[in-house]
Amino acid sequence: MSIELKLSRASRIYQPSEPLEGKIIVKSSSSISHYGVRLTVNGSVNLQIRGGSAGIIESLYGVVKPISILNKSTEVRPSGKIGSGTTEIPFSVFLRQPGKDNLERFYETFHGANISAQYLVTVDIIRGYLHKTLSATVEFIVESDKDDLLERPVSPEMVIFYITQDTQRHPLLLELKSGGFRVTGKMSTQCSLSDPITGELTVEASAVPIYSIDIHLLRVESILLGEKIVTEASLIQSTQIADGDVCHNMTLPIYIILPRLLTCPTILAGPFSIEFKVSVVISFQSQLYKLHPKSDPTTPTLWTAMESLPLELVRTR
């Protein structure tokens, strides 16, 4: 015997003002009695403090109390029997009650290192004390209502940057410090989630040959814990835009697609915040790089130069 939840949309993407629709599929070799088929929709923001980003006292707490967004339960079918073979039970439930003043805020689905906004729909077929309750759970994705979105297009705010040996705050190889290098470019710092991050980069001069140029996309998650704010930056994805010693004074395009579940609109809420930034990382050819090929890409090293820019993400119509 098996139970399956199948949503009406293959993408599983819904907006708060839309009904969550689908069907419950029960496959059984014989008919079964039950005490009701119940559907539960739950949404919450889960906050977690990891030991590496907090002190000893904070790390003892581990998990901060989740923030409830949505919790609805409805009976899809009253007690009775489900026949043998395949039975399909349709359902439809509104996430946000239409026509009423809804004060709750629906955060978009997001899966981070310390913060996650998740929405789940669960079906339970209650079979009494002598039989185990049959359950199935599916995650669905919530995106902002179209009425709450900005009109397209978002004007791309381009920020000009330059990277030299004098802009670096960490120690560099002696040959980099003495010989010097200069990389200039521009990049969009406000971006729609449905559009790529764009820009360009030019290597004007470099005394040491370049090994690689990468663009790191990072999330910056902050959680309010008592009177303290615990903040941690972590890598989402890395995109290589140049491999090897590139020609000087040649413009390199920057074009980065944003991953869906690992990004969301920038959030500045009371108990937590989710922000983003991009880092331009230039790795120079060095024997030290060969000795440490698996070093943390977000940590400055003697053979790398980097520049970080804040990134505001928004969702548009």
pLDDT over 90 at 213, yes or no: yes
The mean pLDDT value for 203-224 works out to: 93
DSSP assignment letter at 221 = E
The mean pLDDT value of the chain amounts to 88
Is residue 50 predicted with pLDDT exceeding 90?
Answer: no
Q: How far is C-alpha 156 from the geometric centre of its chain's CA atoms?
A: 21
55 against 10, higher pLDDT: 10
Give the lowest-confidence range in 38-52, 209-223, 258-272. Answer: 38-52
Which residues make beta-bridge pairs with 279? 216, 308
Distance separating alpha carbons of residues 265 and 190, to the nearest angstrom: 11
Pick the range with the lowest mean pLDDT from 64-68, 169-173, 285-289: 285-289
Quick one: which of 45, 140, 148, 41 has its CA closest to 94?
A: 41
Cβ burial of 117 (10 Å; 0-12, 13-18, 19+) is buried
Residues 198, 188: contact at Cβ < 8 Å?
A: yes
Smallest Cα–Cα separation from 196: which of 151, 277, 258? Answer: 258
**3 state SS of 59:** helix
In the prediction, which pLDDT does 289 show? 72
pLDDT (mean) for 238-247: 93
Is residue 100 very low, low, confident or very high in pLDDT (cuts 50, 70, 90)?
low
Stretch 251-273: mean pLDDT: 92
Is the pLDDT at 9 greater than 80? The verdict is yes
pTM to 2 decimal places: 0.86
CA distances to 4, 85, 125, 244, 254 from 80, rounded to whole Å, are 19, 16, 11, 69, 60
Name the β-bridge partners of 310: 277
CB 136 within 8 A of CB 122: yes
Over residues 123-138, the mean pLDDT reads 89
